[in-house]
Structure 1
Amino acid sequence: MHRLPEVGQLAVVRKRPFVVTEIVPSAPGLGSIGSEPNHLIKLSSVEDDGLGEELQIIWELEPGTSVYEKSNLPDPDSFDHPKRLQAFLDAVRWGAVSQADDKALQSPFRSGIEIDEYQLDPVVRALSMPRVNLLIADDVGLGKTVEAGLVIQEMILRHRVRSVLIACPSSLQMQWKEEMRDKFGLEFRIVDSESVSQLRRKRGIHVNPWNHFPRLITSVDYLKRERQLRSFRETLPSGDQPTFPRAYDLMIVDEAHNVAPSGRGKYATDSMRTLAIRSLVPHFEHKLFLSATPHNGYRESFAALLELLDNQRFARAVTPNRAQLDAVMVRRMKSELKLRWDGSRRFAERMVKHLEVPYTDEEREAHRALREYSELRLKQATSDGERMAAEFVLKLLKKRLFSSPAAFGLTLEKHIGTVGRSKASKATTRDIEDYSDDFADDEAYEAETSELVSAVSQGLSPTSAAEKALLRRLSEFAAKASQRPDCKAQALIDWLKATLRPGGKWNDERVIIFTEYRATQKWLFDLLAREEFAQDGRLEMIYGGMPNEHREPIKAAFQTHPKDSAVRILLATDAASEGVNLQNYCSKLIHFEIPWNPNRMEQRNGRVDRHGQKANEVHIHHFVGRGFDRASTTGKVGELEGDLEFLMRAALKVETIREDLGKVGPVIALQVEEAMLGKRSRLDTNRAEQDAEPVRRMLKFDRKLREQLERLASQLNDTKHELNLTPEHIENVVRVGLDLAGQPGLIPVEVDGIWPDPAGIRKTCPVFRLPALTNSWAQCADGLAHPHSKMLRPIVFDAALATGRDGVVLAHLNHRLVQMCLRLLRAEIWSLGSQSKHLSRVSACVVDDSALSHPVVIAHGRIVVLGGDNHRLHEEVITAGGALVEGRFNRLNVSETKAALAAITDIPAPASIEARFQDLWPKQRDALLSALEARRVERTKNLEKNLDELAEKEVNKIAAVMTELKRSIQLELTDKDNPQLLLDLGGDEPGRHQRERDLDALRRRFNEIPDEIARESEHIRSRFANPSARLFPVAVTWLIPRRAVHAVTGGKA
């Protein structure tokens, strides 16, 4: 029988050395030899050319395996330079992370970005949660993706997460992939139709895409498809019931409001997105939901979203408990984070500006004709169904007329060609209700819209002579106006010339022009091209459904410094806007039409008004009629200028109630629709704002934000100090790692603004070009290519030097280069001695006389504590040492050892001193190892006590949380479970059925809770049961005072 290795040990497999990273036993009775289980051993190569290669084997079935273990201190056959040993010890220390330690934060040092203190809150909270379920609901542009990345990174480091699934809008998949790679050094793979086809060509048609890689990104709309859901369920436990441990570790849902039940009637109802996510979340141990607008104004929708996040704290149809919501929700608004510690603005100030348009009589007449046609058409409606259908078409025509004559003309011609052609509509009321302008593909949206307009129009009453005349006039207008700039387009052209190309010469200003429709975008592109705005790559566009290979280079060019990229104007559709970062060198945005949906307008604004914006002001522009005055109402709703004024006032209202958009936004959208149909003349949100007050109070927490930010910054600084996480130490690790690997060293380079140092403070070059690395090390250049120019960028190790610069790359702890060096150094613990270059892991240095009275020898060891499920609970580096007094070893206490470590220098001891230490070693070895073992025993006792307390704390916490949930459900069932409530929803049939399903679910949940508390408690205790601690001695350091050196050498080195 093969002797089973342990996590962290070195095993020789297939005549090659690997480090054991994980051990997974088979389920009882499955795939076992006799009565003993088999073990899946996960291995990571430590060979020079195999670093980064991973292998999985069944240990009992793999021939020729052996375990290589060194449990003794290294012998001083040779000595490393103190800086080389320091690099090794740093590598070991930085790799030792404890699940039980909720203070140390390593993830910020493993990211290539500037992090604000407020962004640490989610990861700090995650460390204190047994099961991490967080709703990150920060304001648009505060960096929710970065906050999620920090949580992912920290959870992976602590061995609490391996598998991650990110579900997001399809337009954000590539952005998530790139940000995780470039900012956190994490590889994710996208699962979509194209990638699945490629995967099956490579690995066969039966491969399941959902378990082929541990970190995946997909779109919610792809995941909700029946075939994809079925494929995912094949990876879940039989019976589709969650097990311990869960099948998957972490699910992230970006723009999570999209998966909440949709609020259309009196009661929010489950969507396909809701049902898909609800079927999967029980199989994930941890969940992060991201949304700037988590509450859509429907209490039951918000409760259902919270239940998806954490069904042990929340239940659908139950008002969220305030304390439980406080525990899981992270929500800060820009208004709360205006100033940094020095009084400087943290975010740009948003300035809303209007561009006046001198509309012509011809354009006014077109709008008047459409209004008249709308009035006639609605008068002809003979039923509520026909009125609803007519209003759908008329609203769409009006929205598209406000956008452009090109967009209007397409829909108008479809309507004219089909109106009144059939006695019965081919579209149902549900088709109209289900129609959504929330889409990912512009071309598909245009096709769906055209098809629905045709189907709806066919069922309308035939047109009268007056109506036909109006339609003919509108058609002629659209055809003529589409061939030239209308007044609004001309105003845009004039603004572009004055702002971006004054005097005919381009400057470095940039602008994003948003439009709702692809047809308008194409029309605008052609108009601007005629004005020579498209020459030399100055004008680009992105839209929903655009192939990534075309879209991503355009985004990269727009995000690159204007001196290196020609693009100045970006035409973007709404389908391309959600979550996209475009703020690097652009602070101006134009809404070519004012969206009727306030959330959409805020999404657009958030592309430039977000974390990372360098300008002091962000300018948001809207078009208005000439003579618009913010302080007075002059236009008449129904006329062109009056309608535009109403829309502009809606836009201004959105600015004042941004924090309440979830509740007030739908009211504004409804009132805009009513105004555009002639049913309303005044915008009135007073009642909605009053109704939003309870929601505002629910989502607002008194966290004493300033004190919290100070505490988070202090926690980060403590970690940096404790782990020696300085640029100099990281650079040293890379230099030593490259040397051990036999690779060429870093090459200093000059970079403007960095080296030579403009301030004249730095004495050594801090920026380097990566040499041509060979074999698997060549992959260290991944991510160095500039997104736009594709030129390889130099690296820096100081985050301050990378801030605000896209011409250099920060080599953080999780950068591939640093990671490979760290892993190679850590592998030296298990060095076989046959490698051409390796460390002796022994060093001797000379220290100041004031630091020590006698020479000291210190042993460094690594403790690994495994829990009952064979997963690491704790890992740390410990030290123990003794003073050498008259040839004897006098053990130091903890504080004396700490003081000696602080005295270590980079000055190597002379060879004669090293020889003395070698002579003394046989007498000191056992005593030093005993001291290290004694220190292990001390730490283990404390750790076991802490782990026991942590287990009971988690058990008590889960019991209290679920008991409170049971009480809340009982109150809901007692107060609300009555036929009268269901009758109140009689006019909303889908809502009534949804409410019945919710109540049934509550009853089931109420009965499940006691058994679930028992299962959860058992699982927690088993995870912490019988912790076993192992000691791995890793290095020895001698320190000798300068006077002692002189006494031995006579003052000669």
Structure 2
Amino acid sequence: MPLLMAMRLSTVRLLIADDVGVGKTIEAGLIARELMDRGEIRRLAVLCPPHLVEQWQNELENRFNLQTVALTSASAPRIERDLPHGVGLFDYHPVVVVSLDYVKSERHRAHFLTIAPECVIVDEAHTCASSGQGRQLRFQLLQQLSQNPERHLMLLTATPHSGDETAFYNLLSLLDPRFQELQGHTTANDSLRLELARHFVQRRRKDIAEWQAETGDGRGFPRRMKAEITYPLSGDWGAFFDAVQNYCRELAEDIEAREAGHARLVWYATLALLRCVASSPAAAVKALTTRLDNTLSDNEWLTDERLYDGEADDLDSNDLEPPAQMVHAGHLQTLIGEAERLSGQADDPKLAVLILHLRELLKEGFHPVVFCRYIATAHYVTEHLKKVFPKAVIDAVTGEYTPEERRERVEALSEGDSRILVATDCLSEGINLQHLFTAVIHYDLAWNPTRHEQREGRVDRFGQQAPEVRCTMLYGQDNPVDGFVLNVILRKGEAIEKELGVLVPMPEDEARIKQALVKAALMKRSNTHTAQLGFDFGESEQILAPLQARWQDALQKAKANRTVFAQRRIRPDEVLPEWQKEQQALGTQADVQRFVHSACSRLNAPLEKARTEQFRLLPQHLPEALRLRLADEGINEALTIDFNTLHRSHPLVTVLADYLLETSLADGSPIAARCAATITDAVDVVTTLYLLRLRHQISYVRRREPFQMMAEETITLAARGRNQPEWLSDVSVNALLECTPTGNMPSEGEQRELRTALDFLRAHPQQLEALAQNRAVTLLEDHRRVREAARDVGQYSVSACLPVDVIGVYVLLPDAL
């Protein structure tokens, strides 16, 4: 749908707000690729948060064959230094992924505005529209970019409306400044709202699944199976938790009595310590041994990202453990020693229940990702899991590593048939995990429901091959912090998501949330270890009542927006026939796999089996000319191939196809068989197949500018019989190219049959020209149907390019037996 919407606009201005995992990156890439293939743009820039730069670079290169460079604070000096003298950045590198943190500064922003390309994609666009110094600079940059009325601009976000009306309409104003006037208007028939519906699309996973069911495309999203697992704070571990709570109470009373000015610091320390204790003994030790810096202001402590889980419009968070040590006391040293003693499966009930659950998942063939809040917890969990599951490949990925190192550590896990990834939230945004993992475990509850959705969305997203994804939430059944977060925050978010179909982010209110959490954190645990519902969070819920009201209000506004901005005029089914033809022409995954296997074998570089469903290509064994072309595409080392994700437009497939086609047309090519004669039971009369390459010139006018494109296709023309031949060119003819020989022919007979076939073709030149003209007419009809469905504007025509290229001739003789 976004592609159809883009084709309706002379200048593409779109806000694509589809749900997490639906495929916003692919949707934007399709639009950019279409504009490039049409010749309407030559240059493209993607603006995104730093942690998404590498992902965008990989997606553009692997899915759309667009060679891309990354422009970040670290790489920019080198890239600009290596430019030839007098050559601009976008002239030399037409496709660039730019870190927002790099480009938002005054110096870099001014420079970027002078060289910005004619098409810009902005990912996580909601981070550019809210208040705050860094975000305000980003918004100013986008405002200046949007002032060029001919610049194509695509804004991507899964959370366009987090309850902040001003931020939402700031985003809309980037599409058209007039849309700012819509704030506060609710009339669905307002002409300006109808205009906005041409620029704004927001689809839920449910919407995609329903459309796939209607069209018979069964490749929808996997079933997301959710479960909850609890553990009691029993034995020594329960006693330790109670001792920490008592320490926090005593510390608060002492500090408040002596130093009233440090009361906020005590509350911070309380939350930091209890959250780390709930996470793991390792995190507890880190918090207890890291001294608080009492020189920071109250506001700095309130917004410390080491304690919280990011805001609705910016989920970046620090996975280092927050400090919690305020005094050096003997009692504190006792707590530290107890935390160290309790480390391990025997004394840690949380780790024990995780191990039991992992045993079940691995036995059923799932590959889990265990999300932890802190680095110390991730390493602690990994260390103990390696002891329990020695046959599984297990590793931890945390914020200690660079994005490149994170990707390498994740990919290294592909070597194991049984694998477990332990990660902090540095992987909950930006890294796609669906190709390797099929389950998510929330080892630590997030204090922000959007974070849970982002974690699960790394695995349960477009491209996941498994029919089912398991998502498990693990919490302490008598831990008051877990209980408050679960029942007052996460359950509310879950209820809203069920009602609307997508998650509405929790409104920001750090002060109220902190105050309510502190009240809950210091609640006494019941001696009977009752379940979470046994806690009375009445006082904490009362503190959060205004926030809950704003959250409900955000839900109602989101529902109203879905009604007002619903896409009623675009019907994807109108172009479904063309989409199905395109899929058929491009081939299935099986076709791609067969082609790559066969091509590599013929080129003396057969694929090596790497592991289940994966193979390895060693480029050094390929012909030199092909190696150089692959190196230009970034493929110069051993490449691991997963045919579940390898597609027709991947650089490897494209370069292989181009190379084989070019070499097959050269005289004496030993690689591709351009002619053959064979005996087969697939035909009952002599049938000659002519493999043809047809080219068509598409001319059109858009925005008063003429454009031309070349469309190319291969088609098989069959002549059934020779005296009164029946000419066939439908899809069924392609199957004859794969027929199985049932007999051998002498060389002289094969040569005679091929000469006859060539003479026969020369005697019927009108067949090739008529076929080319008919295909041009068909292409024009398909082209017109797609453009009319998209309400596209402009004039267009299609003409055949003659003569037709004959790529191959194959004679099939019926088996007399």
TM-score by length of 1: 0.57
Aligned partner (choices 134, 151, 163) of residue 43 of structure 2: 163
Matches of 2:772 and 2:638 in 1, distance apart?
52
Matches of 2:320 and 2:612 in 1, distance apart?
49
* Structure 2 match to 1:1012: none
* Structure 2 match to 1:777: 626
Matches of 2:790 and 2:580 in 1, distance apart?
30
1:301, CA displacement in angstroms? Answer: 1.0
2:789 corresponds to 1:1034: no
Aligned partner (choices 483, 492, 516) of residue 350 of structure 2: 492
Distance 1:625 1:730, change over 3 A: closer
Which protein is bigger by CA-based radius of gyration?
A: 1
Matches of 1:824 and 1:786 in 2, distance apart?
17
* Structure 2 match to 1:289: 155
1:295, CA displacement in angstroms? Answer: 0.8
* Structure 1 match to 2:387: 532
SS across alignment from 1:258: helix
* Structure 2 match to 1:194: 74
Counterpart code for 2:427: A
SS across alignment from 1:252: strand
- The answer to whether the 8 A contact 1:597-1:666 is kept is no
Comparing 181-190 and 678-687, the one that deviates more: 678-687
Aligned partner (choices 227, 240, 243) of residue 365 of structure 1: 243
1:399, CA displacement in angstroms? Answer: 4.5
SS across alignment from 1:296: coil
Matches of 1:678 and 1:374 in 2, distance apart?
13
Matches of 1:494 and 1:392 in 2, distance apart?
29
Matches of 2:359 and 2:48 in 1, distance apart?
38
Matches of 2:219 and 2:798 in 1, distance apart?
51
Counterpart code for 1:557: A
* Structure 1 match to 2:658: 822
Distance 1:843 1:599, change over 3 A: same
1:431, CA displacement in angstroms? Answer: 9.2
SS across alignment from 1:135: strand
- The answer to whether the 8 A contact 1:878-1:936 is kept is no
* Structure 1 match to 2:697: 863
SS across alignment from 1:677: helix
Comparing 482-491 and 283-292, the one that deviates more: 482-491
1:774-816: CA deviation from partner (whole Å, max 9, x where unpaired):
22312576799999xx965578xxxxxx33xxxxx74614433
- The answer to whether the 8 A contact 2:226-2:472 is kept is yes
Distance 1:768 1:319, change over 3 A: same
Matches of 1:939 and 1:582 in 2, distance apart?
41
- The answer to whether the 8 A contact 1:769-1:794 is kept is no
1:720, CA displacement in angstroms? Answer: 3.8
- The answer to whether the 8 A contact 1:516-1:574 is kept is yes
Taking the TM superposition and a 5 Å limit, the aligned residue runs for 1:312-711 are 317=183, 321-336=192-207, 346-358=222-234, 359-371=237-249, 373-374=251-252, 396=272, 399-400=275-276, 402-403=278-279, 418=294, 427=297, 438=310, 472=329, 475-476=332-333, 479-485=336-342, 490-500=348-358, 510-521=367-378, 528=384, 532=387, 538-544=393-399, 546-558=401-413, 560=414, 562-563=416-417, 567-570=419-422, 572-584=423-435, 586-611=437-462, 612=464, 614=466, 616-626=468-478, 641-649=479-487, 650-658=489-497, 663=504, 665-666=506-507, 672-678=513-519, 680-682=539-541, 684=545, 685=548, 688-699=551-562
1:935, CA displacement in angstroms? Answer: 8.1
1:669-699: CA deviation from partner (whole Å, max 9, x where unpaired):
7654231233943265366325521222313
Matches of 2:593 and 2:394 in 1, distance apart?
42
- The answer to whether the 8 A contact 2:493-2:503 is kept is no
Matches of 1:677 and 1:157 in 2, distance apart?
57
Distance 1:395 1:874, change over 3 A: same
1:624, CA displacement in angstroms? Answer: 1.6
2:151 corresponds to 1:278: no
- The answer to whether the 8 A contact 1:509-1:586 is kept is yes
1:155, CA displacement in angstroms? Answer: 3.7
Taking the TM superposition and a 5 Å limit, the aligned residue runs for 1:61-72 are none
Matches of 2:809 and 2:29 in 1, distance apart?
41
Aligned partner (choices 690, 710, 718) of residue 581 of structure 2: 718
* Structure 1 match to 2:524: none
TM-score by length of 2: 0.71
1:38-80: CA deviation from partner (whole Å, max 9, x where unpaired):
xxxxxxxxxxxxxxxxxxxxxxxxxxxxxxxxxxxxxxxxxxx
2:108 corresponds to 1:257: no
- The answer to whether the 8 A contact 1:845-1:1039 is kept is no
Matches of 2:791 and 2:571 in 1, distance apart?
24
1:354, CA displacement in angstroms? Answer: 2.7
SS across alignment from 1:618: strand
SS across alignment from 1:1035: strand
- Structure number with the bigger relative contact order (C-alpha 8 A, sep ≥ 6) is 1
1:825, CA displacement in angstroms? Answer: 4.0
Matches of 1:1030 and 1:701 in 2, distance apart?
45
1:623, CA displacement in angstroms? Answer: 1.9
1:552, CA displacement in angstroms? Answer: 1.8
Counterpart code for 1:666: P
Counterpart code for 2:50: S
Counterpart code for 1:354: T
SS across alignment from 1:555: helix
Counterpart code for 1:291: T
Distance 1:231 1:622, change over 3 A: same
Q: Which runs of 5+ in 1 are unaligned?
A: 1-120, 237-246, 420-425, 455-467, 627-640, 756-765, 796-801, 804-808, 888-895, 956-1020
1:458-483: CA deviation from partner (whole Å, max 9, x where unpaired):
xxxxxxxxxx8x87477435533453
Matches of 1:258 and 1:475 in 2, distance apart?
41
Counterpart code for 1:493: L
- The answer to whether the 8 A contact 1:744-1:771 is kept is no
Matches of 1:599 and 1:144 in 2, distance apart?
17
1:574, CA displacement in angstroms? Answer: 1.9
1:1028, CA displacement in angstroms? Answer: 11
Matches of 1:900 and 1:336 in 2, distance apart?
35
Distance 1:492 1:732, change over 3 A: closer
SS across alignment from 2:507: helix
* Structure 2 match to 1:998: none
- The answer to whether the 8 A contact 1:737-1:825 is kept is no
Counterpart code for 1:329: F
Matches of 1:418 and 1:274 in 2, distance apart?
34
Distance 1:180 1:313, change over 3 A: same
1:196, CA displacement in angstroms? Answer: 2.6
